[in-house]
Amino acid sequence: MTSERGIRMDRVCYTVGGRRILKEFDLLLERGVNRTILGKSGAGKTTILKLILGLLKPDAGAISIDGTVIGGLRESQLIPVRRNIAIVFQGGALFDSMTVGENVGYRLFEEGKLTEDEIERIVLEKLSFVGLEHSIDLYPAELSGGMKKRVAIARALAAEPDYIFFDEPTTGLDPIGVYNIRNLMLRLQAEGKTTLMVTHDLETAFAVSERFSFLHETRLAFEGTEEEMKRSEIPEIREFLAPTERSLFISNSNNTDIHP
């Protein structure tokens, strides 16, 4: 273990079902430098987040979190490392049989370290951060898509992580819902959290991130700032930022995202 703070992926390879998803993929998430990973649907963006969380194991390469290489760790050793990272899953992934409050406090209850009163105080604080303290006794089925995402954010915050991952946080939301999520992400960053987002939503990406990684056909095709990305001559980047008819042929040629 070193004193390095941040998350690093070094030449990570990952294959599933005989299909290569990542080939020697590098990523650096420095503390306080918010990053977005861009890439087409099915490129492997969610896979990257799951690899960092230790939910999937790479075939080759190394992943380190604040100087600890997670590859050789047992499940029990992974717990404290993982505790510092929360993820707001694509779709929210709330427990339907639990109330909003129970969803937010779930992890703290499971850990059994705090009293019920202490947990309730934290749950209320996190729900008011996302503007949903009055929905504490509702069930997920009674919430809109945007509210569910905000509950998922409150749940992610309950354990006071330093890193928060957002998997497509704005997909399916109306403009007000998108604005709310962006605003929450910026407030979290102002409080010192480091965010890593994966998305296709370029406008949100540019609003909340300083650096961008573009995943294209298993590889890191680009890494840099918004300005560098907009100036990039890399054809895949230009196509992603401003799709033209050529995209039809790009999509068809690699057999992904075909909409007949």
- Residue ranges in contact with Mg ion by CB under 5 A: 46
Binding ligand ATP by CB under 6 A: which of 45, 149, 193, 211? 45
**Of the two residues 48 and 158, which places its CB atom closer to ligand ATP in the complex?**
48
Residues 47-76 within binding reach of ligand ATP (CB under 6 A): 47
CA distances from 24 to 18, 58, 213 (A): 17, 10, 14
Name 78's Cβ contacts closer than 8 Å, sequence gap at least 6.
Answer: 54, 70
DSSP state of 149: H
Nearest alpha carbon to residue 208 among 182, 226, 190: 182
**Of the two residues 17 and 72, which places its CB atom closer to ligand ATP in the complex?**
17
Q: How many residues bind ligand ATP (CB under 6 A)?
A: 13
In a 3-state reduction of DSSP, which class is residue 209? coil
Binding ligand ATP by CB under 6 A: which of 32, 42, 172, 243? 42
Return d(Cα 227, Cα 43) in angstroms, integer: 23
**Of the two residues 91 and 224, which places its CB atom closer to ligand ATP in the complex?**
91
Is residue 172 within the footprint of ligand ATP (CB under 6 A)?
no
From the list ligand ATP, Mg ion, none, partner contacted by residue 16 (C-beta under 5 to 8 A by kind): ligand ATP
From the list ligand ATP, Mg ion, none, partner contacted by residue 41 (C-beta under 5 to 8 A by kind): ligand ATP
Return d(Cα 28, Cα 12) in angstroms, integer: 12
Is residue 17 within the footprint of ligand ATP (CB under 6 A)?
yes
Return d(Cα 21, Cα 216) in angstroms, integer: 10
Binding ligand ATP by CB under 6 A: which of 5, 16, 137, 144? 16
DSSP for 13-77 reads EEEETTEEEEEEEEEEEETT--EEEEE-TTSSHHHHHHHHTTSS--SEEEEEETTEE-TT--HHH
Is residue 44 within the footprint of ligand ATP (CB under 6 A)?
yes
Return d(Cα 117, Cα 191) in angstroms, integer: 25
Is residue 181 within the footprint of ligand ATP (CB under 6 A)?
no
Residue nearest to Mg ion (CB): 46
CB 226, min distance to Mg ion, A: 22
CB 5, min distance to ligand ATP, A: 26
Which chain residues interact with ligand ATP by CB under 6 A?
16-17, 19, 21, 39, 41-47, 90
